[in-house]
Structure formats: structure tokens, C-alpha cells
Amino acid sequence: MKFNTPATTNPIDQLKVVGHPLDRIDGPLKTTGTAPYAYEHHEGVANAAYGHVLGAAIAKGRIASMDLSRAKAAPGVIAIVTAENAGRLDKGSKNTAKLLGGPDIEHYHQAVAVVVAESFEQARAAAQLIRVDYVKADGAFDLSDARKSATPPTDTQADSARGDFTAAFAAAPVTLDETYSTPDQAHAMMEPHATIAAWTGDKLTLWTSNQMIAWGVDDMAATLGIPKQNVRLVSPFIGGGFGGKLFLRADALMAALGARAARRPVKVALSRPMMFNNTTHRPATIQRIRIGATPDGKITAVGHESWSGDLPGGGPELAVQQTRLLYAGENRMTALRLAVLDLPEGNAMRAPGEAPGLMALEIAMDEMAEKLGMDPIAFRVANDTQVDPEHPDRPFSQRRLVECLQLGAERFGWSARAAQPGRVRDGDWLVGMGVAAAFRNNLVMKSGARVRLDNKGMLTVETDMTDIGTGSYTVIAQTAAEMMGLPLEKVRVRLGDSSFPVSAGSGGQWGGNSSTAGVYAACVKLREAVAQKLGFNSADAVFANGDVRLGNRSVPLTEAAGADGLSGEDTMEYGDLSEKYQQSTFGGHFVEVGVDVVTGEVRVRRMLAVCAAGRILNPKTARSQVIGAMTMGVGAALMEDLKIDKRLGFFVNHDLAGYEVPVHADIPHQDVIFLDETDPMSSPMKAKGVGELGICGVAAATANAIYNATGVRVRDYPVTLDKHLDRLPELS
Amino acid sequence: MKSFTYERAASPAEAVAAAARVPDAKFIAGGTNLLDLMKLEIETPGHLIDVNGLGLDKIEPTNEGGLRIGALVRNTDLAADARVRRDYGVLSRALLAGASGQLRNKATTAGNLLQRTRCPYFYDTNMPCNKRQPGSGCAAIGGFSRQHAVLGASEACIAVHPSDMAVAMRALDATVETVKANGTTRSIAIADFHRLPGDTPDKETVLDAGELITAVTLPKPIGGTHIYRKVRDRASYAFALVSVAAIVQRDGTGNVALGGVAHKPWRMEAAEAQMPRGATAVAERLLADAKPTSDNAFKLPLVRRTLAGALAEAKG
Ligand SMILES: Cc1cc2nc3c(=O)[nH]c(=O)nc-3n(C[C@H](O)[C@H](O)[C@H](O)COP(=O)(O)OP(=O)(O)OC[C@H]3O[C@@H](n4cnc5c(N)ncnc54)[C@H](O)[C@@H]3O)c2cc1C
Ligand code: SF4
């Protein structure tokens, strides 16, 4: 099915099942511990051996020699695979560094061997017996140094401009020119990267934890040099990914190589301390923002430059993305510059681009509002735009940012905020409020599904879509139930298997809208099949209460399905609506913090998000997405920071004791409001993404609240106490 | 993890005898620190002697009017004990500021005293570390050292001791009771129990090989207002950037110990003499010999402020 004209009324609009705050249908499996995660497919795979991955001990250089003799002789060891004996390996199109290093080492903890043994403990112990001699090479590990040698990236738009930024900025009566920095961050999802691999002849099956099944199949086939048809990925449950599991990673490759060498299934999970340097992370940025405005608060010039680094062949963090679209202003420029760094591979993490970009831009907006003597909400409202400001002939499909901010202000009690920072005290707490706009593009992705109706009236949906904790199972079931006029219990959803039709997958907050649109398309096919079988005109047939009805004739779907059942399969594809209309999601984040006047510790007191993100398919799972993202935003604001040893070239704090993320005590109170809206440009579902919108702007709202509490501006994330302690009031 | 053998001892005498018999043996109590270190092969004992069954899990009054805390008393139970809460509030608060509920249910009094540093380079076996591998060097010096020591560090090691409980015990003048294989027992003042790193950072306490902690005793209650203030990057489940244990008497005198600043809980009687003159004077004395790194220089103002806050709170 092709979606190339705006959606009109369709069966989803009935909202009998869609749009309700239903519990997730996979909830009982998860709460009872019976949902099999990647490492737990015990029934499917008997007799699996255990693989333990050894990571490189240096950041850059090469392996001079490797002595495996003691490891080979260790109890229980079945096989050891290194680059020397792995056979020819190519690199997947989505990997920057090789997943198996050697002799060249590209980054710290790059996998250099997998040891396969009868038990997990034996594999791990034997891996410690491998002796590797390295020859170290010098590397670049410091973004602020490498920034000087950064160049425009070639595989993405490096620069954008409209009007004459330089002249307008020079002429502006009120200006801001500040530099902000965001650190490297880790996905730190709960479930580690894990895979069980089994070969049957030349066919490989991987039970794994992967957000994008088709990408995983492609890159595994490419890496091993085998046909795609010989690779099957199964990933029904995923314990979080946040972008860290978009790509084929070392767990999958090392399991496949280990299983081939051991001639039996092998399971591999990365240990927690390996995850931070072995896999991908959100790259650090340095961002310079310049804003010029008239005294009444109209932006006349806005410039945003961002520097980030990656391994050779890698890409930049797209931190200027939102600045191209969020606020009006005749004269504008953005620039991305990419430096070569020999740190682990940088890549997507929840809301890549916008999350770090808004961390900077939305502090800049706060600073600018203060310079103008304006309320930060009023300043944003004054610079709203209903068209793409770089291409004014391109309207937004829907944009209710102003409503989000204004409704949020009312609900949060924004009017009680003291405009003068450092004025509100509650005992030892300096109290402040902050706001930021939330913005994230809505991406639509081609997505397929298959639906089958059996003679008991059970509908089975199959698609390689994944559920990374987002609620995909549930919104897909709701969509199918709505389309076929069935109760939710009559729908069974099967996900995450490459033998199912290729879906959009989970990434970039495109999954919810795109995958349900694919299910919509498949259901349209099935409705046609049902109607055809009954001799109904499918356009007029009504599917409701388990029956299909035309005029006064009503037939149970069970009967229509017949003994053999009926099925429908289709893929939703998109025309150029997303080019004609800019599709984005919007929100307002409000945060109140307390800063301990004695120690400088920052603690969030309450948070509110107001989101405008099209039709909310399930307010309960959507809310869970948003509060989770808000929590992650607090992490970005206050603590998350991969600390680089700039001599040795690695992330030092590579476990969950050293890399802190918020705990329950850090998140006392969160509220989420969704504006009631539909976006007919996005898909027949009229929905958009919310899972990333929820993090966008949170860190800046928090940083702005800290400034409002203390009067001390910190432009270097995370805002830890050491960055403002010396500027807090003297103690009496 | 290196393979090991395991036995369960039934009495302190049996435990120390076993330790004397097997040279690379270690005691295991709650296991919350030791097992993690064994998995990473930072600790590689060949034999574990489980001391959970020694009957050392009681809190009893001493003849001197203090409390005798068995080595195996769990952190949770110790923090909740009515006598501890009433007479040694600083200890209860320090315990509750540490780790998480689940960990405190397992963690023991002796194990807590003997927990090892959280220096990230100590935890990464690819890195040089004099504490883990004597003579290999110290990667933290010149590296990422935000958590590290500002007092009493050496050229060989700048790690801090991570315990909260020990800081309170230092302020309370606790005594560590031990027994050795030959049956001799000793009482070690907490001040002397942990060592500064010097050039042997691998030797963290004055315990001899195979020496078993049987109890920690607290002297008679000294009254005063008990405060434990732990400063950290998140609200819970984080090690201290710095912490202050303070027991302040009505007349302004008292005891003060610092955590998160050195290889052992830091207390200076000379600094306490300054208490009547106020927090600034105390901090000045405590920090007179401080040598921070560029990453952790903030700990000095942080100690000053936290101490001032604690003393102000004590005044009420
Ligand atoms: C995630 C995490 C967070 C934590 N956060 C904090 C925190 O914020 N603050 C804090 O203070 N602590 C914290 N801890 C540390 C925790 O308090 C210690 O792990 C715990 O107290 C150790 O006690 P245990 O009984 O489990 O010791 P074990 O692990 O059993 O043993 C530790 C050491 O003590 C030795 N030992 C044990 N008993 C005896 C004995 N009777 N005689 C002689 N030697 C003995 C063992 O041989 C071993 O060397 C944290 C730990 C973890 C894992
Ligand atoms: S500070 Fe101490 S524990 Fe840390 S690396 Fe140096 S020697 Fe090892």
C-alpha cells in the first residue's frame, strides 16, 4: 500500500481499541520472567556452549603476538577464535570499526578473541589466560584538541544557510555567542548485548537482542560473506537498546564464529564492563551557538556549529538538526564538523542529533531570553514558525509547540517562577524552575506485516518489528483488533523474526507509527480477502464484534476464515508527503530542581512534559516511553558522562558503579500530558513518534532550572556540583 | 574467575586454623565485594572459608557500657538496632547512606571494613595498578582521578577507602577485635586499623595473613548530636565524593571524621581542638596537607562547606 495522500477517515478512527490506555499484552510474560530474552532460549537451543569475549587492552595499535596455549589447555575449552583463524571477514555496512579486531586494533576493548568452553566460568577463566603482546600507536582522544583538525563530513549535509547570517548577527541589537559541551554517553540499557548462535549446515540462526532485524541479517551475511537467505535472526524480546542495538555487534559475530569453530551452538553475552568501550556510544559535542535578536525578541540571526569526533569512516553527531527547524529567523547557518578520534565507535543513542543539540540550543534560548528581559516561554512563542524556516514554502504538517509550552506553564505553575535567579529558598535548598522546548523529527519508514485469521477467529500478526520495551506488541495488537473488529484477546502478535515480513524496526522513534501502519496495510489486504470470499464489496463491509457486516447480512469472521483460514500481507510505503510537509513532534519540558546551598548537589523535585505527537496509540505505553525518556534526560543533565583517559584512550568509568544513571530517588515526581491531536500526513494511523521526544530538551530544562535556582550558568554537561560549587553563595 | 575450593567453618578457631593451613585462602562473609573482585580476577583466592556460621552475628553490651558488634552482623541489622540508633546515630546514618537495601542485607561489619577501593583502574586488569599488582605503576595518577584521595596519598597510589560505616566508626573511636591461628587475640584501634598507601598500597590494613575479625566494639556512648552527611552525584546508590561524620557536644567540642578523601577514614585530633572556633578553623587544619589532583580539587571546598553545614546543623 502506498501512502501518498493525506489520510482520511479510516477504521482506526473508530478508536474502539486504539487510543486506549491498555496494559501491555506482553506484561505478564515479563513480570513472571517467562519472556525469553536473547540469552535464555534454552528450549530452542540444546547443548549450547559458552563464549567469552576478550577485549583489546589498548586503544590503538596492533597485536604483535598472541599466545593461546594456556587458554587452549584450560579446563572445558572447546575452541578459541581470533582474527588469525576466523577466516575472511568483511565489515557490515553499518559498522565503523571491525567487530573482531586484529592484528590492527581500532579501539579499546575491541573484541580480539572469543573463548568457547563447556561452562560460562570456564570460558571466562580461560580468556584471562590468553597473552597478547601489543604494539601501541599514538591516537587522538581529546575532542577539544582534535576540533582544530575537524573537517566537514562527507556523507551528510555539513552546512546549511539562508539569508546573510554574518551581517545580521553583527547588526543585531541583542546577541549571544556561547559555547556548550556535551559528553560521551552510554546507552546503559539493562540487558547486555547477547546472542545464541547455531549453525545447521551452512545456515545460521541467531537468537539475539537487536532492534533492526533486517539490518542485522544484512550485516551478518556481509561480514561472513554468506547469502542473506542463510541467516535468520530471532529477537522477540529486548531488554532495552536506546540505539545501542541498532546494529550487528560483537556478541552476534563472536557467537557465530564460536559456534562454527566449536561445531555446536554458542551463547555469548558481553559483560557489563565490556559494553562501554566495545559497543557504540553517543559522541561528545562542542557546540557554538550565536543568536541575534531585536529588542522585542524577534530572532534575526541564528547560527549553530557542532564539532564531534569518530573513528575514521564514522559520522558526526547531528547536533544542529533541530536548529534548522525549531525557531524562526531570516538569517541562519548551521555547520557540522567531524574530527578523527580513536575512541570507541560513536553512533546513535536515543534521539541522536536532537538530544545533545537541544542540550545546547535550549540553554542558549534561556540565556537569550534573559538578555532580552523576556520570559523564556514568551521568547520561544515569539519565534514560533509554522513553516520550515530554511524552506518557507514547506509547512509543518502540524505544529503545536506554543500550546505545549502554554499548557505546560499553566499546569506546572510557571507563573510562580522568580525571574531573578537565586531568589527562592526552601531551607538549605535553592529552588529553581526551568523550561525547554522538545522537538524531534517524525520519520516514516517502509514497514511490512502478515496477518492470518484462523477458523477460531484468532488473528495472528507477524512482522519482524521489535519491541524494545516500547509497547510494540500492544499497539500492533490494538491496530489489528481495530482493523478487523476483534477484541484484543483474539489477536496474537509475533515479532522480531527475520522469517516475518520486513518492518521499519525500532529506531529514531519511527517504530510505533510505521510498524502499525504496516499492520494496517496487511489488515486492509485481509479485509479484502474476507470481503471477496463472502462476495461483499470490501469498501462498504463493516468489521465489528467479530463479524463482518454488509447491509443486514452479517457473517462471523470465523466462518469467513473457513477451515483453511485467510491471510493478508502488505508493506506500507511512503510517497513524498514528508518532503512536502515537515513532520516533527513537539513538546514542552518543565523541571523544578533544588540545589543544596551547602554542597551544591542538584536534586530534581518535579517534572512535567506536554507532548504533541499525533495520535497517541496507547496513552499508557506512550506515557511510559515519555517518563523513561525524561529520566534519561535527567541523567544527561546531572550525571551521565563517559570519562576519557586522554593518555590511554578509553572510557574509564566502564561499569554501572562508575557510569551513573538516575535511580528512583533521583526521580520523585513526573507528569505527562499529551495534546489530543492527529496528523493525517504521517500515515493512516495519524500517529507520530514519542519515545525520543520525551528526552529532547529535558537536560536543558534541568540546566535552566539549576541556573534559576543558583544564578550560576553551567554550559558544560553534566551539571555536577564541582562545576558550580565555587560560585554558590558563601556560607555564613 | 579462578577455580577455588570452599569450606564452611563452624567456629572462629576452625576458621583461623583453616586459613593457616591453606596459604591462598580468604574468608568470605556477605561476598558482596569479594565475589565481584574474584569474577574480574582482581582477587584470586584458591580457597574460601565461609565465616557466616561462626555465631558472630550478635550485638551485645560490653562491661564498659559500650556495644560489641559481631563481625557478621549485617549492615541492615546494625543500622536498625535500637541501641545503635539511640546512642550511635552517626553509625546508623552512615550505614543507611551506603550501597542499597539488598546489599546491606548481605554486607557484614567486617566485610564492610575490608571492602576494597572503587578506583576504576584497580577494577580494569589491563591497567597498571600498584594495589592490584605491586610494582606495575598507578594509572590513576595523571589519569581520571575525580574520586581519588586529596589527603595521605602517595606516589604509588591515590585511592580512597569507599566505606561509609568505617568513617562513623572512626568518629566513634571503635576498636576492631581479632583472633589469629595461634589463638592470640588483639584489639586494634580503628585509627590504626587502615593504613595509608605509602609504597605498599596492596597492604590496606594492619591485619596479618589469616587473622580473623571477630567483632567491632564501640565505647560507652558519648552523647552529642550525631550527623552523617554524604555528598554524591545522585541521590542514592553512589559512593561518597566526600562525607562528614560529626558528633557535636553542646559546648561545641566534638569528633569529626571525613570519608572519600583518603585511603582511610580521616580524623585529626588537632583539627577537633579547633571546633569551638568554628568549621573554617577545623577544615583548615584537616586540609592543611591536602594535595588534590586537577580532577578532584573541588573536594577541598566541598569538605569545607559540608563540614560547615554539618556543624551548623548540629547547632540546630
Ligand atoms: C554496587 C555496590 C554499591 C556499594 N555502595 C557502597 C556505599 O555507598 N558505601 C559503602 O560503604 N559501601 C558500599 N558498598 C560496599 C559494601 O558495603 C561492601 O561490599 C560490603 O560491606 C562488604 O561486606 P561483605 O560481608 O559482603 O564482604 P565480603 O565481600 O564477604 O568480604 C570482603 C572482604 O572482607 C574479608 N572478610 C570478611 N569477613 C571477614 C572477617 N570476619 N575477618 C577477616 N576478613 C573478613 C573478605 O576476605 C574480603 O576480603 C557497595 C557495594 C556494591 C556492590
Ligand atoms: S590509585 Fe591505587 S588503586 Fe588506583 S590505580 Fe593507582 S595504585 Fe591502583
Of A573, A595, A625, which one is at a domain's C-terminal end?
Answer: A573
Question: Which residue's CA is the closest to the ligand 1 atom numbered 8?
Answer: B98
What pLDDT digit, counting tens, does each position of A45-63 carry?
A: 889 999 999 999 999 999 9
Q: What is the CATH number of the domain that holds A649?
A: 3.30.365.10
Mean pLDDT value across chain A: 97
In a domain, A192, yes or no: no
Are residues A449 and A434 located together in one domain of the fold? no
What the block records as the C-alpha cell of B199 is: 609504597
Are residues A491 and A619 located together in one domain of the fold? no
Choose among B39, B66, B70, B38: nearest CA to B56.
B70
Domain that holds residue A644: 353-443+580-727
Our answer on whether the CB atom of B314 is closer than 6 Å to any ligand 2 atom is: no
Q: Is A230 within 8 Å of A298 (Cβ atoms)?
A: no
- pLDDT category, A328, cuts 50, 70, 90? very high
What's the confidence (pLDDT) of residue A46? 86
Q: How many Å lie between the centroid of ligand 1 and the Cα of residue B34? A: 7
Q: How many Å lie between the centroid of ligand 2 and the Cα of residue B264? A: 14
Q: How far is CA B280 from the centre of its chain?
A: 26
- pLDDT category, A109, cuts 50, 70, 90? very high
A-chain residue closest to B142, CA distance: A647
Cβ distance of B124 and A639 shorter than 8 Å: no
pLDDT over threshold 90, residue A444: yes
Please list the ranges in chain B whose pLDDT falls under 70.
Answer: none
> At a CB cut-off of 8 Å and minimum separation 6, what does B162 contact?
B115, B117, B118, B239, B240, B260
Residues of B in Cβ contact (< 8 Å) with A121: 1
Choose among A564, A500, A558, A538: nearest CA to A233.
A500
What's the confidence (pLDDT) of residue A44? 77
Q: How many Å lie between the centroid of ligand 2 and the Cα of residue A357? A: 37
What pLDDT digit, counting tens, does each position of A296-310 carry?
A: 999 999 999 999 999
Average pLDDT of span A239-266? 98
Indicate which ligand has the atom closest to the C-alpha of B201: 2
In a domain, A714, yes or no: yes
- pLDDT category, A468, cuts 50, 70, 90? very high
> At a CB cut-off of 8 Å and minimum separation 6, what does A373 contact?
none
Are residues A429 and A480 located together in one domain of the fold? no
- pLDDT category, A42, cuts 50, 70, 90? confident
Taking the CA of residue A277 and the nearest CA in chain B, the distance in Å comes to: 12
- The catalytic position among A43, A410, A692, A730 is A692
A/B interface, count of CB pairs below 8 Å = 97
Q: Whats the size of chain B, residue-wise?
A: 316
What's the confidence (pLDDT) of residue A575? 96
| A692 belongs to the catalytic site | yes
Cβ distance of B120 and A603 shorter than 8 Å: no
Count how many domains chain A has.
2
Q: Is A618 within 8 Å of A685 (Cβ atoms)?
A: no
Are residues A666 and A603 located together in one domain of the fold? yes
In a domain, A358, yes or no: yes
Residues of B in Cβ contact (< 8 Å) with A636: none
Of A638, A647, A655, the CB nearest to B123: A655
What's the confidence (pLDDT) of residue A80? 98
Of A519, A548, A573, which one is at a domain's C-terminal end?
Answer: A573
Are residues A547 and A611 located together in one domain of the fold? no
> At a CB cut-off of 8 Å and minimum separation 6, what does A361 contact?
A287, A289, A304, A322, A323, A326, A700
Q: Which of B43, B129, B155 to mutate to test the pocket of ligand 2 (most atoms within 8 A of CB)?
A: B129
Taking the CA of residue B58 and the nearest CA in chain A, the distance in Å comes to: 31
In a domain, A168, yes or no: no
What pLDDT digit, counting tens, does each position of A170-229 carry?
A: 999 999 999 999 999 999 999 999 999 999 999 999 999 999 999 999 999 999 999 999
Are residues A359 and A506 located together in one domain of the fold? no
The total of other beta-carbon atoms located within 10 Å of residue B162's CB is: 21
- Three-class SS state of B166: helix
Are residues A415 and A450 located together in one domain of the fold? no
In a domain, A518, yes or no: yes
Q: Which of B1, B11, B22, B33 to mutate to test the pocket of ligand 1 (most atoms within 8 A of CB)?
A: B33
Q: Supply the DSSP symbol for A667.
A: -
Are residues A723 and A585 located together in one domain of the fold? yes
Cβ distance of A663 and B234 shorter than 8 Å: yes
Q: Is B307 within 8 Å of B283 (Cβ atoms)?
A: yes
Output the CA angle A570-A574-A575, nearest 5 degrees: 135
Of A547, A573, A599, which one is at a domain's C-terminal end?
Answer: A573
Cβ distance of A660 and B234 shorter than 8 Å: yes
pLDDT over threshold 80, residue A732: no
What's the confidence (pLDDT) of residue B221? 98
Cell numbers 571477514 correspond to A89
Of B235, B238, B306, the CB nearest to A598: B306
Cβ distance of B236 and A665 shorter than 8 Å: yes
What pLDDT digit, counting tens, does each position of B124-169 carry?
A: 999 999 999 999 999 999 999 999 999 999 999 999 999 999 999 9
pLDDT over threshold 80, residue A688: yes
Of A655, A666, A731, the CB nearest to B235: A666
Our answer on whether the CB atom of B147 is closer than 6 Å to any ligand 2 atom is: no
Choose among A459, A462, A447, A452: nearest CA to A568.
A452
Q: Is B71 within 8 Å of B213 (Cβ atoms)?
A: yes
Q: Is A471 within 8 Å of A626 (Cβ atoms)?
A: no
Given the CA of residue B158, which atom of ligand 2 is nearest to it? 1
Are residues A641 and A562 located together in one domain of the fold? no
> At a CB cut-off of 8 Å and minimum separation 6, what does B186 contact?
B177, B178, B180
Given the CA of residue B128, which atom of ligand 2 is nearest to it? 5
What's the confidence (pLDDT) of residue A137? 98
Taking the CA of residue B140 and the nearest CA in chain A, the distance in Å comes to: 9
Are residues A596 and A719 located together in one domain of the fold? yes
What's the confidence (pLDDT) of residue B115? 98
Q: How many Å lie between the centroid of ligand 2 and the Cα of residue B195? A: 14
In a domain, A133, yes or no: no
Are residues A595 and A691 located together in one domain of the fold? yes
Cell numbers 583472633 correspond to B179
- Give the mutation candidate from A54, A648, A653, A663 for the B interface (greatest B CB count, under 10 A): A648
Taking the CA of residue A121 and the nearest CA in chain B, the distance in Å comes to: 7
Please tell me the distance from the alpha carbon of residue B247 to that of residue B269, in angstroms, as a whole number. 13
The total of other beta-carbon atoms located within 10 Å of residue A366's CB is: 24
What pLDDT digit, counting tens, does each position of A528-582 carry?
A: 999 999 999 988 999 999 999 999 999 999 999 999 999 999 999 999 999 999 9
Of B126, B298, B312, the CB nearest to A57: B126
Of A125, A603, A639, the CB nearest to B1: A125
Taking the CA of residue A721 and the nearest CA in chain B, the distance in Å comes to: 7
Q: Per the omega criterion (within 30 degrees of 0), is the bond before A718 cis? A: yes
Q: Which of B22, B114, B118, B212 to mutate to test the pocket of ligand 1 (most atoms within 8 A of CB)?
A: B114
Are residues A514 and A559 located together in one domain of the fold? yes
What the block records as the C-alpha cell of A190 is: 539493562
What's the confidence (pLDDT) of residue A509? 96
Residues of B in Cβ contact (< 8 Å) with A57: 126
Our answer on whether the CB atom of B158 is closer than 6 Å to any ligand 2 atom is: yes
ipTM above 0.90, yes or no: yes
Cell numbers 580468556 correspond to A127
Q: How many Å lie between the centroid of ligand 1 and the Cα of residue A640? A: 26
Instruction: Report in angstroms the alpha-carbon separations of B278 from A339, A598, B42, B265, B312.
Output: 52, 16, 43, 21, 9
Please tell me the distance from the alpha carbon of residue A213 to that of residue A463, in angstroms, as a whole number. 10
Our answer on whether the CB atom of B122 is closer than 6 Å to any ligand 2 atom is: yes
What's the confidence (pLDDT) of residue A338? 98
